[in-house]
Amino acid sequence: MSNYFVHQSSYIDDSVTIGKNTKIWHFSHILSNTEIGDNCSFGQNCVVGPNVTIGNNVKVQNNISIYEGVEVEDDVFIGPSVVFTNVINPRSFIVRKQEYKKTLLKKGVSIGANATIICGNTLGEYALIGAGTVVTNDVPDYALVVGNPSRQIGWVSKAGHRLVFDEANLATCLETGERYRLVDDEVKAL
């Protein structure tokens, strides 16, 4: 008996590792050589892999394909219908698998519904990507990013609340009371 759940309408290929308490819902397909951590949730109509690594406590909403070249660290939220790419200049008549560009979603990042993540970029820890955003560059830790093309409009706490910095470049999360410092355009938790 497995210690994870896979809906009967989903397919799991050979050589897949799925962590405990993970749930894979309707009409999903996990391709070979993919590793999924503990306590993850995949909504309906998701495709993952091949050769993808997903961390622990990751929530993947409906209608998402996570292609080879994308790596997802722990505590990541991927909203409904987010799109990932893995080649900059795809052509149906040219095989470019050797040109896959790595995309890294670092710990705690959240991506809003219908965002598009262009390959080759790193989304920093606890960054918040607004719904519909087209990410075309790396995103710093704790950054709040929106628009097409993406642009940073502020900073957020680990809990996802906008940070307002005082004259000493200090801010406090309204929900948790955690403190943050802004130094040289980087936010650090204290």
Does residue 65 belong to any structural domain of this protein? yes
Question: pLDDT tens-digit profile of 32-87?
Answer: 999 999 999 999 999 999 999 999 999 999 999 999 999 999 999 999 999 999 99
The residue segments making up the domain with residue 16 are: 5-88+98-159
Question: pLDDT tens-digit profile of 93-107?
Answer: 999 989 999 999 999
1 pLDDT above the threshold of 70:
no
Does residue 179 belong to any structural domain of this protein? no
Listed residue (68, 149, 155) closest to 116, CA to CA: 149
- What is the helix (H) or strand (E) element at residue 150, kind and residue range? none
Instruction: Give the tokens for residue 78.
Output: 């991927």
Does residue 176 belong to any structural domain of this protein? no
Does residue 117 belong to any structural domain of this protein? yes
Residue 68 pairs with which residues in a beta bridge? none
Instruction: Transcribe 166-184 into DSSP letters.
Output: -TTSEEE-TTT--EEEEET
Question: pLDDT tens-digit profile of 120-162?
Answer: 999 999 999 999 999 999 999 999 999 999 999 999 999 999 9
CA distance 99 to 158: 34
- Match 């040219």 to its residue by tokens: 94
CA distance 82 to 63: 8
- Strand pairing report for 170-172 and 179-183: antiparallel
Does residue 32 belong to any structural domain of this protein? yes
State pTM to two decimals. 0.96
Does residue 71 belong to any structural domain of this protein? yes
Does residue 110 belong to any structural domain of this protein? yes
Q: What is the CATH number of the domain that holds 107?
A: 2.160.10.10
Domain count, the chain: 1
Does residue 165 belong to any structural domain of this protein? no
